[in-house]
């Protein structure tokens, strides 16, 4: 049998393709990004795009569903917060073509700002939820998700976690099934979410959920593995794999693939066949609380805890008290935190911010969140996508109201984040007269998630050229009469730009513009810097730019030639002129 | 088939552990094993500490392990061996690249690179230490360091009979680097005393 080693994300993309999906829209976010990076290979059969944000992506996919085709949107867990508005109402209205929303959660926050448990979205929005536990299930469950969506007239929430999305396991592929698209007919009763229609849709939704629970009790996605009657485990998602390794061989499992609604009669029946029932799940007691509320005694969170990822050894330790044989070698590794890359265009901007103790800088989500790390330490906050401008606005208004006059407030975000949800914040500042300088760090790409296109980058996900939106034109149209565009790698110009913006009598904004050095289609000016040891006095000023390539050994600075790209930011801060870029 | 095995490939983002994992997994699949592999993308890639886990056997459940459960750690950088040492079984095996890479906090002079990483590992585990970077450089390119380490891993875990690893490498790497990587595999293999 031909089996392929696929990540969960690759398998989800394949599953969508095989299910005959025709329209796909997403905004990148770890750990969901690779689903859409896989889709362009199927572009002869489906349309796929990066949308400006998750709400847009959800609306595009839902629109396609209304028009009668199967559609997909995908996002990281916090992206569902952005998309929640259309999701809740789509649940009321129902679907045309099957509609699947992938939520990729990130327990242990490998690359996230929180570890919210998005299973509660399924409960609260009343969506059927499928949770695969390996890559084969990612593929198979996608196809089932579309069948359920169409059979029950509901959007389906397809939830993964980092270890499902990014782990690779063996998958047998199937064939794409093309689906006939019914002729479009307007259905205002169904799709116009007016109060009168919503009044009718809500009871229909409740009835659907009841029917779905009966369906879930009989679905092969919820499967009993009877191995003994002593211990039974109800589990789902990646926790199933952990529990299989952690519990003794004579443990029976009720492995759930459909976790909303929970198949309570199936659980009750399973519970009656075992002496002790455990519920093993990561993060919150989503299943356990419902099972207890149904009057079924079980044990779970009191042992496993609700913080961070689990693994087989942790479960064994917490459930059975069997500590793993851990060796302490007596030497501790020092931390190796991520840092802005050598040559990162953000470095010059954050260095400039770091030189002014009176600057207050509200940051945002992206590579530039690293501007808050030592030694740059140039951020006051980072909350959510697009929050940089508006959190800054709130702080500035608070300073005004409290009579604080010695603070200069900046709101900072990248180009992709600006298009995601920063534009409304830019409007807010200029219209409501905020004493804030909005700064867009334009590196021409969506950096942190691994270089996805955005409306400013000039290309689409499918690889076509597109007319890029000009950030300066958008800001000017909003009323920023003084838009200063600066190369952040030129520290003198960067400082001038900041002072000009602060002194401006008309609304001012700054765009720092230099492409990410990792963009392959751009020819970058790469070189090497070197330290003249005779001129270096060991003052360590060069370390203040926080570049991984700059090292001080003994009393002298040194540049790691393997890492250096010759951006010269360190050279510009050296008071002795000891660092220079080598001539080619 | 023997009991399930778990390997941790650890290093610093950009050192090439992914290709090593790809070769390992390719060979294991060809040999008919069930395989699962776990890696983390995103923020952790930016010069941070990275780890890839590979698990194989007749039937593999979890794609990740916790502490005290790995059969082998292949460390592309020696401080990373220490960082993940608590993931090893007490009778676990370690292949360590004798190579030091300062973290940003060390480069900034905020703390020092820990002394005695190799000695500490050797005291507690069966260790194979080699200068994979130097070996790779002598073979013609520092970039084949990952396959040097892979060769050492095969020897250290006695995996030579699992599959014809040289043909797996030949199929996995681009053609123009084939000869180089085969030399790297053999050099890494020979660098470990059985």
Please report how the helices B145-156 and B165-172 are oriented relative to each other, as an axis angle in degrees rounded to 10: 160
Q: Phi then psi for A408, rounded to 5 degrees? A: -115, 120
Is A311 within 8 Å of B103 when comparing Cβ atoms?
no
Chain A nearest-CA residue for B25: A5
Q: Return d(Cα A582, Cα B11) in angstroms, integer.
A: 30
A260 preceded by cis ω (within 30°)?
no
Q: How many CA atoms lie within 13 A of A212 on its CB side?
A: 29
Query: What's the pLDDT score for residue B42?
Result: 54
CA B51 to chain centre: 9
Contact between B88 and B68 (Cβ < 8 Å): yes
Q: Return d(Cα B36, Cα B63) in angstroms, integer.
A: 5
Which residues of chain A are under the pLDDT cut of 70?
Answer: 1
Tally C-beta pairs within 8 A across A and B. Answer: 186
Mean pLDDT of the region B72-88? 96
pLDDT band at residue B54 under the 50/70/90 scheme: very high
Q: In this complex, is the C-beta atom of A438 within 8 Å of any C-beta atom belonging to chain B?
A: no
In chain B, pLDDT over 90 holds for what percent of residues? 78
DSSP letter at A159 equals E
Is B43 within 8 Å of A548 when comparing Cβ atoms?
no
Q: In this complex, is the C-beta atom of B113 within 8 Å of any C-beta atom belonging to chain A?
A: yes
Q: In this complex, is the C-beta atom of A30 within 8 Å of any C-beta atom belonging to chain B?
A: yes
Considering only CB atoms, B85 lies closest to which of A5, A169, A329, namely A329
A contacts of B61 (beta carbons < 8 Å): 241-242, 244-245, 312
Q: Return d(Cα A276, Cα A501) in angstroms, integer.
A: 67
- The more confident residue out of A302 and B111 is A302
Query: What's the pLDDT score for residue A59?
Result: 98
Is A336 within 8 Å of B47 when comparing Cβ atoms?
yes
Strands ordered across the beta sheet of A23-26: A47-50, A23-26, A71-76, A99-105, A156-161, A129-130, A258-260
Residue with tokens 């334009």: A442
Neighbour count for residue B1 (Cβ, 10 Å): 11
Handedness of CA A21, A94, A162, A237 (dihedral sign): negative
DSSP H or E segment with residue B105: helix B104-107
Q: What is the least distance, in Å, from the CA of B54 to any CA of chain A?
A: 9
Residue B103, pLDDT > 90, answer no
Neighbour count for residue A433 (Cβ, 10 Å): 12
Beta bridge partners of A552: A557
pLDDT band at residue B14 under the 50/70/90 scheme: confident
Query: What's the pLDDT score for residue B48?
Result: 77
Residue with tokens 């396609």: A64
Contact between B42 and A30 (Cβ < 8 Å): yes
pLDDT band at residue B13 under the 50/70/90 scheme: confident
Mean pLDDT of the region B52-81? 96
Best of B92, B108, B111 to substitute, by most chain A Cβ atoms within 10 angstroms, is: B108
DSSP H or E segment with residue B28: helix B17-30
Q: Phi then psi for A521, rounded to 5 degrees? A: -80, -5
Query: What's the pLDDT score for residue B2?
Result: 59
Query: What's the pLDDT score for residue B132?
Result: 96
Query: What's the pLDDT score for residue B46?
Result: 60
Query: What's the pLDDT score for residue B44?
Result: 52
Query: What's the pLDDT score for residue A131?
Result: 98
pLDDT tens across A471-511, in order? 999 999 999 999 999 999 999 999 999 999 999 999 999 99
Query: What's the pLDDT score for residue B3?
Result: 86
| Spatial CB neighbours of A474, under 8 Å, sequence gap ≥ 6 | A423, A426
Residue B1, pLDDT > 50, answer no
Interfacial B residues in 37-56 facing A (CB < 8 Å): 37-49
Is A312 within 8 Å of B89 when comparing Cβ atoms?
no
Residue B43, pLDDT > 80, answer no
Considering only CB atoms, A167 lies closest to which of B37, B83, B123, namely B37
Q: In this complex, is the C-beta atom of B82 within 8 Å of any C-beta atom belonging to chain A?
A: yes
pLDDT tens across B117-165, in order? 999 999 999 999 999 999 999 999 988 999 999 999 999 999 999 999 9
First to last CA, chain A: 55
Is A338 within 8 Å of B48 when comparing Cβ atoms?
yes
B contacts of A545 (beta carbons < 8 Å): none
């Amino acid at each position: 049998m031909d089996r392929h080693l696929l990540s969960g994300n690759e398998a989800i993309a394949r599953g969508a393709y095989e299910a005959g999906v025709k329209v796909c829209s997403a905004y990148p976010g770890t750990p969901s990004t690779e689903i859409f990076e896989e889709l362009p290979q199927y572009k002869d059969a489906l349309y796929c795009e990066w949308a400006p944000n998750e709400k847009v992506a959800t609306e595009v996919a839902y629109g396609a569903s209304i028009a009668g085709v199967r559609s997909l949107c995908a996002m990281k867990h916090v992206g569902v917060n952005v998309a929640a508005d259309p999701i809740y109402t789509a649940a009321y209205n129902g679907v045309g073509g099957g509609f699947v929303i992938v939520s990729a959660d990130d327990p242990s926050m490998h690359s996230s700002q929180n570890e919210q448990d998005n299973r509660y979205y399924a409960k609260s929005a009343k969506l059927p939820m499928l949770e695969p536990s390996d890559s084969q299930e990612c593929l198979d469950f996608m196809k089932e998700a579309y069948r359920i969506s169409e059979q029950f007239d509901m959007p389906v929430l397809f939830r993964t976690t980092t270890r499902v999305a990014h782990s690779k396991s063996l998958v047998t592929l199937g064939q794409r099934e093309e689906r006939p698209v019914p002729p479009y007919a307007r259905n205002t009763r169904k799709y116009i979410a007016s109060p009168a229609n919503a009044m009718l849709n809500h009871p229909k939704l409740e009835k659907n959920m009841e029917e779905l629970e009966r369906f879930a009790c009989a679905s092969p996605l919820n499967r009993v593995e009877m191995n003994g009657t002593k211990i039974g485990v109800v589990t789902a998602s990646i926790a199933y794999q952990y529990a299989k390794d952690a519990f003794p061989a004579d443990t029976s499992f009720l492995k759930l693939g459909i976790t909303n609604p929970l198949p309570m009669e199936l659980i009750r029946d399973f519970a009656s066949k075992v002496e002790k029932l455990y519920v093993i799940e990561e993060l919150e007691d989503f299943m356990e609380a419902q099972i207890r509320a149904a009057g079924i005694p079980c044990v779970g969170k009191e042992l496993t805890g609700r913080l961070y990822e689990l693994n087989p050894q942790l479960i064994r330790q917490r459930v059975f008290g069997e500590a793993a044989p851990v060796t302490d070698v007596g030497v501790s590794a020092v931390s190796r935190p991520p840092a802005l890359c050598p040559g990162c265009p953000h470095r010059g901007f954050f260095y400039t911010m770091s030189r002014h103790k009176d600057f207050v800088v509200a940051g945002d989500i992206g590579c530039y969140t690293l501007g808050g790390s030592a030694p740059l330490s140039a951020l006051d906050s980072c909350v959510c996508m697009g929050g940089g401008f508006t959190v800054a606005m709130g702080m500035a208004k608070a300073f005004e109201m409290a009579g604080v006059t010695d603070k200069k407030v900046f709101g900072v975000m990248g180009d992709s984040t600006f298009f995601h949800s920063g534009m409304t914040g830019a409007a807010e500042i200029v219209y409501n007269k905020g004493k804030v300088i909005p700064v867009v760090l334009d590196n021409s790409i969506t950096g942190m998630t691994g270089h996805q296109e955005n409306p400013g980058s000039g290309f689409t996900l499918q690889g076509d050229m597109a007319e890029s939106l000009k950030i300066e034109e958008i800001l000017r149209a909003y009323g920023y009469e003084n838009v200063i565009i600066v190369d952040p790698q030129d520290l003198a110009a960067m400082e001038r730009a900041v002072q000009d913006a602060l002194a401006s009598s008309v609304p001012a904004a700054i765009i720092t513009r230099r492409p990410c050095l990792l963009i392959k289609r751009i020819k970058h000016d790469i070189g090497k810097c070197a330290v003249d040891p005779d001129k270096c006095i060991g003052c360590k000023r060069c370390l203040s730019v926080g570049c991984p390539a700059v090292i001080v050994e003994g009393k002298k600075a040194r540049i790691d030639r393997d890492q250096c790209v010759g951006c010269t930011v360190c050279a510009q801060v050296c008071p002795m002129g000891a660092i220079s870029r080598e001539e080619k | 088939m023997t009991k399930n095995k778990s390997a941790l490939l650890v290093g610093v983002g950009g050192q090439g552990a992914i290709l090593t994992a790809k070769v390992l997994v390719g060979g294991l699949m060809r040999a008919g094993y069930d395989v699962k592999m776990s890696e983390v993308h995103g923020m952790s890639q930016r010069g941070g500490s990275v780890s890839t886990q590979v698990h194989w056997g007749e039937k593999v459940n979890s794609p990740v392990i916790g502490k005290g459960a790995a059969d082998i750690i292949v460390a592309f950088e020696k401080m990373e061996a220490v960082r993940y040492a608590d993931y090893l079984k007490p009778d676990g095996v370690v292949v360590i690249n004798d190579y030091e890479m300062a973290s940003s906090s060390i480069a900034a002079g905020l703390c020092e690179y820990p002394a005695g990483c190799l000695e500490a590992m050797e005291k507690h585990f069966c260790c194979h230490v080699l200068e994979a970077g130097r070996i790779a450089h002598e073979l013609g390119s520092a970039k084949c360091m990952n396959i040097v380490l892979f060769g050492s891993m095969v020897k250290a875990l006695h995996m030579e009979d699992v599959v014809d690893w040289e043909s797996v490498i030949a199929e996995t790497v681009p053609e123009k680097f084939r000869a180089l990587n085969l030399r790297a595999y053999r050099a890494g293999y020979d660098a470990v005393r059985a």
